[in-house]
Structure 1
Amino acid sequence: MSAGLTTAPAAAAARVRPRVPFGSVAAVAVAALTLVPLGFVLVASAGAGPAEAGALLFRARVGELLLNTVGLVLATTTACAVVGTAAAWVVVRTAVPGRPVWLALLAAPLAVPAFVNSYAWVSLTPAVEGFAGAVLITTLSYYPFVALPVAAVLRGLDPVHEESARALGLGPVAAVRRAVLPLLRPAVLGGALLVGLHLLAEFGALQMLRFPTFTTAIYDAYEATFAGPAATLLAAVLVLLCLVLLVGELRLAGRARLARVGSGAARLRPPRPLGRATPLALAGLAALVVLALGVPLGVLGRWLVEGSSTAFPLVELGAATLTTLGLAAGCAVLTTLLALPVAWVAVRRRGRLIRIVERSSFIGSSLPGIVVALALVTVAVRGLPVIYQTTALLLVAYAILFLPRTMVALRAALAQVPPELDDAARSLGVRPAGVLARVTLPLVARGLGAGSALVFLAVVTELTATLLLAPIGTDTLATEFWGHADAVAYGAAAPYAALMVLLSAPAAYLLTRRGIPEAVS
C-alpha cells in the first residue's frame, strides 16, 4: 500500500506533464533545414576580415547592384499586384464571356520559364534589355503568383460582406474598398512576397536581358573564385533584402481573423454584368495573354521551324523528360510534407517564436540557386559524404528553394478554416492525427493541390541548382535547353523548351481546374 501511495503522484505527474506538439517540433526542424544556406553565407562571410569586407561592399558597383535589385523588386511586385488583382477580379467577379478559359489562360504563363520568355523578347527586339524590359518581362512571367490566390479568395467570399456595407450606406466602390479589399490583402501580399523573393533569386532571365542584379553578380563572382568572399558577402546583402521583404509583408498582412463562422453556408455571388465595358475587358485580358503567352510561344514555334540547328534527338529528349518528371513529382510531395507543419503552426499558433519559424522558411528561397547548391555541397562533403552527388540532395535543394510557394497556398487555405472545427473534433475524442486527416486536410485540399502544382512548375524549369547538384549523367530539360542556348544553338534548344512548356501546362491548368463555380459560370 505504501508503494502504491509513492508511485501514484509520479504517475499523476506523468499524466499531466505537458507535451510539446509534434507539429511545432516538425515546423522548427523544417525551419532549421531551410536556414542551412543562410548559415553557409554567414560562416563564409565571417571568414573575410572587417577591412576586406568593407572594401568589397562599399563600392560603386555594389551601390549600382543595390539600386537595380531594389528598383526591380519594387516595380515588378507593384505591377504584379495591380495586374494580377485586376485580372482576377474581372474573371471571377464579372460576367466577361469565357470566364473558365480566361482563368486558365491567366495561369498559363507559369508554364513558360522566365528565361525562355526573356530570350523570346530579346530575339524580337534588343530594346527590352535594361530596367524597363526587365520589369515588363518579369511582370508578364510572375503576375500569376498574385492572380491565382486572389482569384481563389474571390471565389470563396460570401457576398454578405458587401451587402452589409451597402446596407450601412456605402456606395459600390466604397463597399468594395472597405469590405472586400481587406479580405484580399493576405492573398495579394502573399503573392507579392513570392514575386519579390523570386526576383531576388532570378538569374537566367536577367542574364539574358543584360540587367545586372545581386544574383547575376554572385553568379559571376562564383564562376571567377568559386566560394570567394566577394560572392558570399553579396549573398549576405541579398539575405538582408529578403528579411526586409519578410518583415514588410508580415507588418502589412496583420493578424486579423479571416475565417467565416456562423449559421448556414456561404453563398455564391452572381457575376456582375459589364454591359458596354465588355469589349474593353476582353481587350485587356487578350492583350495580357498575348504579351505573356503569345509572344514566347510564337518565337518558340519559329525556333522549331526555322532554326538552322534544330534537331529532335528522341533518346535524349525522352531521357531528359523522364528525369524532369520524376524530380518534379518527388519534390512536389516532399515540399508539401515539409510545408504542412510550418503553415499549420503559423496560422493556428501565436507568438514571436512561431513568427520566426514561419519567416525562416522563406529565407532559403531568396538566395540564388547556386548559393543554396554550394551550401549543400559544402555540408555534404564535410559532414554527410554519403549524400553527395545524389538525387536526395538535389530534392532537398529544390525543397529549400520552393517551400514558400507551397507555404503561401497552404497558409491562405488554412486561414479560411475556422479553428473551432478542430476543437469540435477533439472534443469528440478524435486524436490530433485524426483531426488533421479527417477535418483539416479535406478542407485545405485545394491549397495543397495549388502548392504542389506551383512546386512542380518550378522544378520543371529550375536551372542553376540542377547544374551544380544533379548526379553525373542526370540531365533535365532546363539544363539541356540552357546548354544549347548558351552555345547559341537556339534551334537545338527549342525542342527542350517546348517540352518544358508541355510538361508545365497540365500543372498550370490544375491550378484553375475548379476555377469558376458551376453555379455562376
Structure 2
Amino acid sequence: MSVVNITESTNVQSRVLQRRPAFTMVALAVIFSMLSLIPPAFVIFVGFDTGWETVKALIFRPRVAELLSNTLLLVAFTVPICVLVGTLIAWLTERTTLAGRRAWSMLAVAPLAIPAFVQSYAWVSAVPSIHGLPAGIFLSTLAYYPFIYLPVAAVLRRLDPTLEDVAASLGTPPWAIFFRIVLPQLKLPVWGGALLVSLHLLAEYGLYAMIRFDTFTTAIYDQFQSTFSGPAANMLAGVLALCCLVILAIEGGTRGKARYARVGAGASREQKRWQLNAPLHTAGQLFLLAVVLLALVVPLAVLCRWLWLGGIENWNHADLWLSLQQTLLLACGGALLIIAAGIPIAWLSVRHPRPLFRVLEGCNYFTSSLPGIVVALALVTVTIHYLRPIYQTEITLFLAYLLMFTPRALINLRAGIAQAPVELENVARSLGKTQARAIWSVTLRLAAPGAAAGAALVFLGITNELTATLLLSPLGTRTLSTGFWALTSEIDYVAAAPYALLMVLISLPLTGILYVQSQKLAGL
C-alpha cells in the first residue's frame, strides 16, 4: 500500500474516531446533568402547584421590578469592570516589563482566599456607611476579578509570539497587534471567566446582605427565613433562573467554534514583553498597588483588629477546631467528586460541540445560578418524599455541592481539554487504545493543570459555602463558614475572627496551587 493511501486511511479513521463519542462519557454526562435539573424542576413544580393567579400576583409587582433592576444593574456594571481589571492585570504581569511582575501576579490571585462575605463585613466594619449598588459593584469586583485574571493570564503565557512578530514585521502598531491578534485569542478565557462572575453575582447572598443591598438572592433568603413563604420565594427564584438562562444564551451564542489548540511546541522562546515608559510604568505600579490595598490589606487589617481584641482566649474553643476538621473533609471530598463528574461533560462540550452536549453543559450553569438555599430546599423536599434514607446526611450535602460548584470545574476543564490537540487522542486510538484509555492517558494528562485549578476553585467554594450547608448539614456538623455566620449574626464579631482567619489560611495554599498550575499551562 502506498504512503498516500496509508495517510488517507489514517485520516478517515481519525475522523471516524472523532465523530463517535464514548458511550460511557455520554451516559455519565447525561446522569450528572439530569441531577442538576432537580432544583429548577422543583421551582417549576411549585409554580404550577401555586396556580397562575397567585403566580401573577407574586411576580408582577413593584418589589420584583426593583429586585430585577438591582440584579441586572449589578451584573451590567460588575462584569465589564471585572473583565477590564482582570485583563489589565494579566497584561501588565505577563506581557510588559513592569517591575515585580511575579509578586504582583501572586497577589492578584490572593483575594480568592478571602470569602466574599468576609470581604464585605471587613469593609462594613471599616466604613459603616458603605451600602447600596455602588458598594455592591465595588466589593463584587474585589472579590471576583481573579476569575477573569487567572484564565486570561494562563492563555497570554502560551500564545505563539510568531503571530505577533509577523504582524509587527508588516508595520502593525503595538496597539493594533493587541486588538487584532492577541485579544481575539483571549475570547474563550474572557467569556468563561465572565460567565463565572455573572453566576456568582446572581447567587451571592452574604456579601449583599451585609451592605443592605437587595437582590433576588437576598429577597429569596429573607422570604424563607422570616415568613417561610415558599411560593413567593420560588417565584422570585424563577425570575432569577430566567436571568441566568439569558446569560447562558448570550455566552453560548457568542462563544463560537474556534480552535484554540496547536500541534507542536510553536515558538521556542519567551513571549515578547512591551517596554513601558516612565509614566506608564508608574501608572501600572499604582494601579496594582491600589487593587492589592483594596482587596487584601483592608480586610486583613480589620481581621487582625478582631483577633487582637479577642486575644489568645478566643482560640480555646472546641467548636472552632471541630469546624476546621469538618470543613477540610467536606471540601476535599467535594472537590474530587465534582472534578470526576465534570470530566465527561467538559470533554463532550469541547470534542463534540453538538447542541445536545451544549445543552447538557448548560444545565449545570443554569442550576448553579440559583441561590444555595433554593438548591437546598429542593433537595430537602426530594429526599423527604422519595429518598428518606439520605435525608440530612453527607450524601445530600455532597449532592448540593455538586449542583452548585460544577461550573467552577467545567470552565477550567473545558479550557484545559481545548488546549489538548484532538489529533494526539486519535493517534492513541489508532494504535489500539480504547477511547476511555486514550482520553485518560493523553487528553486528561495534558488537561491536568486545568483540572487542578478547577479542583482548587471547588475547594474554595465549599470552604466558603454558607446557605446550603446551614440547611443540609447532618446534626452536629459545623463548618468554618457556618460558625462565622452564626457568631456574626449574634453580633459577636470578636469570637468570629478565628473562624474567618482559618478560612483565609486554608484557602491561601489553594490560591497558590491556582497560580502554579496556571503557570504550568505555558509549558504544555
1:114 partnered with 2:116: yes
Matches within 5 A, 1:297-446: 297-306=300-309, 311-446=314-449
TM-score calculated relative to the size of structure 2:
0.93
1:219 partnered with 2:221: yes
Question: For each residue in 1:408-443, what CA deviation from the matched residue of structure 2 results, as whole angstroms up to 9, or x when unmatched?
Answer: 011111111111111111111111122122101110
Matches within 5 A, 1:96-111: 96-111=98-113
**Runs of 4+ residues deviating >6 angstroms:** 517-520
Match for 1:43: what amino acid? F
Matches within 5 A, 1:216-295: 216-226=218-228, 228-261=230-263, 267-276=269-278, 277-295=280-298
Distance in 2 between residues matched to 1:370 and 1:519, nearest whole Å = 39
Distance in 1 between residues matched to 2:269 and 2:228, nearest whole Å = 58
Q: 1:124 to 1:264 in 2, by over 3 A?
A: closer
Distance in 2 between residues matched to 1:263 and 1:194, nearest whole Å = 30
- Structure 1 gaps of 5+ residues are 1-17
Q: 1:306 to 1:263 in 2, by over 3 A?
A: closer
Distance in 2 between residues matched to 1:262 and 1:499, nearest whole Å = 44
Residue 67 of structure 2 contacts residue 215 of structure 2 at CA under 8 Å; is this kept in 1? yes
Match for 2:499: what amino acid? Y
Q: CA deviation at 1:255?
A: 1.4
2:209 aligns with 207
Distance in 2 between residues matched to 1:426 and 1:453, nearest whole Å = 31
Match for 1:111: what amino acid? A
Indicate the SS of the match to 1:47. Answer: helix
Question: For each residue in 1:314-370, what CA deviation from the matched residue of structure 2 results, as whole angstroms up to 9, or x when unmatched?
Answer: 422211101000000001100100111000000000321111111111111100000
2:481 aligns with 478
Q: CA deviation at 1:307?
A: 5.0
Q: CA deviation at 1:501?
A: 0.3
Residue 373 of structure 1 contacts residue 397 of structure 1 at CA under 8 Å; is this kept in 2? yes
Aligned to 1:25, which of 24, 27, 38? 27
Indicate the SS of the match to 2:50. Answer: coil
Aligned to 1:61, which of 47, 60, 63? 63
Match for 2:155: what amino acid? V
Distance in 2 between residues matched to 1:514 and 1:472, nearest whole Å = 37
Q: CA deviation at 1:99?
A: 2.1
Distance in 2 between residues matched to 1:334 and 1:516, nearest whole Å = 25
Residue 478 of structure 1 contacts residue 497 of structure 1 at CA under 8 Å; is this kept in 2? yes
Aligned to 1:183, which of 169, 182, 185? 185
Distance in 2 between residues matched to 1:331 and 1:518, nearest whole Å = 24
2:135 aligns with 133
Residue 321 of structure 1 contacts residue 499 of structure 1 at CA under 8 Å; is this kept in 2? yes
Distance in 2 between residues matched to 1:118 and 1:419, nearest whole Å = 44
Indicate the SS of the match to 2:214. Answer: coil
Matches within 5 A, 1:447-486: 447-486=450-489
- Structure 2 gaps of 5+ residues are 1-19
Question: For each residue in 1:87-131, what CA deviation from the matched residue of structure 2 results, as whole angstroms up to 9, or x when unmatched?
Answer: 111111112222222111111101101111111111111332011
Distance in 1 between residues matched to 2:514 and 2:272, nearest whole Å = 22
Distance in 2 between residues matched to 1:199 and 1:518, nearest whole Å = 28
Q: 1:171 to 1:265 in 2, by over 3 A?
A: closer
Q: 1:152 to 1:309 in 2, by over 3 A?
A: same
2:199 aligns with 197
Distance in 2 between residues matched to 1:149 and 1:102, nearest whole Å = 16
Match for 1:180: what amino acid? V
Indicate the SS of the match to 2:515. Answer: coil
Residue 342 of structure 1 contacts residue 357 of structure 1 at CA under 8 Å; is this kept in 2? yes
Distance in 2 between residues matched to 1:267 and 1:387, nearest whole Å = 55
Residue 239 of structure 1 contacts residue 363 of structure 1 at CA under 8 Å; is this kept in 2? yes
Distance in 2 between residues matched to 1:516 and 1:230, nearest whole Å = 47
TM-score calculated relative to the size of structure 1:
0.93
Distance in 1 between residues matched to 2:430 and 2:519, nearest whole Å = 36
Distance in 1 between residues matched to 2:262 and 2:366, nearest whole Å = 31
Question: For each residue in 1:179-214, what CA deviation from the matched residue of structure 2 results, as whole angstroms up to 9, or x when unmatched?
Answer: 110110110111011011011010001000100000
Residue 310 of structure 1 contacts residue 492 of structure 1 at CA under 8 Å; is this kept in 2? no
Residue 154 of structure 2 contacts residue 522 of structure 2 at CA under 8 Å; is this kept in 1? no
Distance in 2 between residues matched to 1:519 and 1:22, nearest whole Å = 31
Distance in 2 between residues matched to 1:24 and 1:242, nearest whole Å = 25
Distance in 1 between residues matched to 2:245 and 2:268, nearest whole Å = 37
1:51 aligns with 53
Q: CA deviation at 1:170?
A: 2.1
Match for 1:453: what amino acid? A
Indicate the SS of the match to 1:140. Answer: helix
Distance in 2 between residues matched to 1:495 and 1:220, nearest whole Å = 27
Q: CA deviation at 1:226?
A: 3.2
Q: 1:260 to 1:67 in 2, by over 3 A?
A: same
Indicate the SS of the match to 2:305. Answer: helix
Distance in 2 between residues matched to 1:162 and 1:427, nearest whole Å = 36
Indicate the SS of the match to 1:512. Answer: helix
Q: 1:266 to 1:410 in 2, by over 3 A?
A: farther
Q: CA deviation at 1:517?
A: 7.2
1:166 aligns with 168
Indicate the SS of the match to 1:513. Answer: helix
Indicate the SS of the match to 1:475. Answer: coil
Question: For each residue in 1:461-509, what CA deviation from the matched residue of structure 2 results, as whole angstroms up to 9, or x when unmatched?
Answer: 1100000001000000001100000000000000100000001110011
Distance in 2 between residues matched to 1:151 and 1:231, nearest whole Å = 40
77-86 vs 91-100, which moves further: 91-100
Question: For each residue in 1:121-167, what CA deviation from the matched residue of structure 2 results, as whole angstroms up to 9, or x when unmatched?
Answer: 11111332011011000100000000001111111111112123223
Aligned to 1:154, which of 153, 156, 174? 156
Q: CA deviation at 1:310?
A: 7.2
Residue 306 of structure 2 contacts residue 494 of structure 2 at CA under 8 Å; is this kept in 1? yes
Residue 22 of structure 2 contacts residue 436 of structure 2 at CA under 8 Å; is this kept in 1? no
1:7 aligns with none
